Amino acid sequence: MSNKIIVNDNESIRFNNKVDFCVGTGRLGLALTSEYLDELEFVQREIGFKYIRGHGLFTDDVAIYHEYEEDGVTKVEYNYTYVDRIFDKYIELGIRPFLELGFMPKAMASGTQTIFYWEGNTTPPKDYKLWTDMVVNLLKHLRARYGEEVLTWPIEVWNEPNLPGFWYKADMPEYFKLFKETFLAIKAYDERFQVGGPAICGVNDEEWIRSFLVFCKENNIKPDSVTRHHYTVEFPEYDGQYAYSKLEDAQMRFDNLQSSRDIIDSFEEFKNLPMHITEFNTSYTARGVIHDTNLNAAYIAQQLSRLGDMNESYSYWTFGDVFEEVGVPFTPFHGGFGLVAANCIPKPTFWTFAFYKKLKEVGDKCIYRDDDSIIIKGDKKYAGIVWNIDKDEFLKEFELGSDDKEYVLITKTVDEETCNPLKVWHDLGEPANPDKEEVKIIKDSAFPSIKTDVIKAADGKVDLSLKAGKNAVIYFELKEREFTPDRGYNYEKVLTFH
């Protein structure tokens, strides 16, 4: 019995492909280092994200906020040297800031609680007027430097205030005060800025989102978006500094996102308000070893096929492994969040994003989608992705409509056999500091396998078969073949003439 899937060109399946809308980064101060910029340049060249979101805009390493005494009076001044340097480089690389407002400058903080190796202060301001003045003055500076486009840069107030490590005691009323004061100050300056929150993770998410919207309703505030995060693993098992996690059921996680969408739409005032996933990945730990694997790439392929169903956008955490939440990494493959490992080595998940970006370039008409594949119809071509999440090898067969012409099939395959830099690094002995030759070997192994074939359509259809190995992600294009050989050149004769 054939398992061939008959694909109807006239189908129109909702597919909000925002793969390139935003990507995460470690703290912004890391953008002052060369390796960080090398990785970002590589990511932008191969994928090209529109926005970038990271922590630490107001922490002391970026050095915006300063206090000094003059004639016995405490005064405030702002220093934009580093933020200009960082944002100038972002814009040069074709990416704009998604402004996460946090953490607290130590001189402005009401307490001493910090988070991460780099000690971001996570307490409320000692004076909310100092906070809102700093925020508004930064926006004024950015607007003066970069022009009216700054009005389009999304703004998010804080990060994960529902966790006590990120917001002192996870104090909900205090966070709501922070949001209100920040929102009103920004809108008083220019109401066109887009301000969202509450930027929560999946802990008590329903309670926080509902309570946040009740608060906004009672205070006659209409946020421009609701923001939350999305991670998809069970509580990890730790061994040394590494976290080993099992993936959760994907449908359960999609249902959780839908529950947030439903809560928003249950408020008449906020119905259809955009929801942004400002962080997502599999593991939520910076030493989550799954991040470097082909399994991660396949699982994320399924996520990208459906995250747009209930979200306006979704931002992968993060683009690269220059990242120091739990300290400086010891090895190039350490389970870092990034799409790219040290020395600009793309991980398998990097190609999942590159493949979805290619889909977007082909078109936005989705004509088929299931649990392990998606197909787009473009101008004189089809494009699609097939993935295999931790299953034995399987064959995916499609029947596509076509004129009776020749087509070229192009496939790019990432799987454990063809594109697995983690295995190569392991086989080399897991060097903590690989030399140039080892880096070259690892990097050479980190690119997709590309194959082509010529397929002849018959009776108004063309058959397509794709074999997906365990944890594979396969991108394919099927397009009309234009055969234009040069005079006297005969490919078959080349192969047989001896």
Per CATH, the number for 5-11+365-491 is 2.60.40.1500
Point out the residues that are catalytic: 160
pTM of the shown model: 0.95
**For residue 273, which phi and psi values (nearest 5 degrees)?**
-60, 135
Sign of CA dihedral 445, 448, 449, 450: negative
- How far is it, in rounded angstroms, from Cα 466 to Cα 114? 50
List the chain pLDDT tens, one digit each, 498 residues.
458 999 998 899 999 999 999 999 999 999 999 999 999 999 999 999 999 999 999 999 999 999 999 999 999 999 999 999 999 999 999 999 999 999 999 999 999 999 999 999 999 999 999 999 999 999 999 999 999 999 999 999 999 999 999 999 999 999 999 999 999 999 999 999 999 999 999 889 999 999 999 999 999 999 999 999 999 999 999 999 999 999 999 999 999 999 999 999 999 999 999 999 999 999 999 999 999 999 999 999 999 999 999 999 999 999 999 999 999 999 999 999 999 999 999 999 999 999 999 999 999 899 999 999 999 999 889 999 999 999 999 999 999 987 778 999 999 999 999 999 999 999 999 999 999 999 999 999 999 999 999 998 888 889 999 999 999 999 999 999 899 999 999 999 999 987
In this structure, are residues 44 and 94 in contact, taking their beta carbons and an 8 Å threshold? yes
Sign of CA dihedral 320, 275, 97, 125: negative
- How far is it, in rounded angstroms, from Cα 227 to Cα 80? 27
| Fold that domain 22-361 belongs to in CATH | TIM Barrel (3.20.20)
In this structure, are residues 341 and 333 in contact, taking their beta carbons and an 8 Å threshold? yes
Of 7, 5, 134, 128, nearest to 58 by C-alpha is 134
Per-domain boundaries in the chain: 5-11+365-491, 22-361
Q: Which amino acid is at 145?
A: R
- How far is it, in rounded angstroms, from Cα 285 to Cα 288? 5
- How far is it, in rounded angstroms, from Cα 466 to Cα 4? 11
Tell me how far CA of residue 354 lies from CA of 117, 232, 347, 349, 360, in angstroms. 31, 21, 11, 9, 10
Of 343, 325, 227, nearest to 283 by C-alpha is 325
- Strands in 107-245 per DSSP E: 114-115, 120-121, 155-157, 195-200, 225-231, 237-239, 242-244
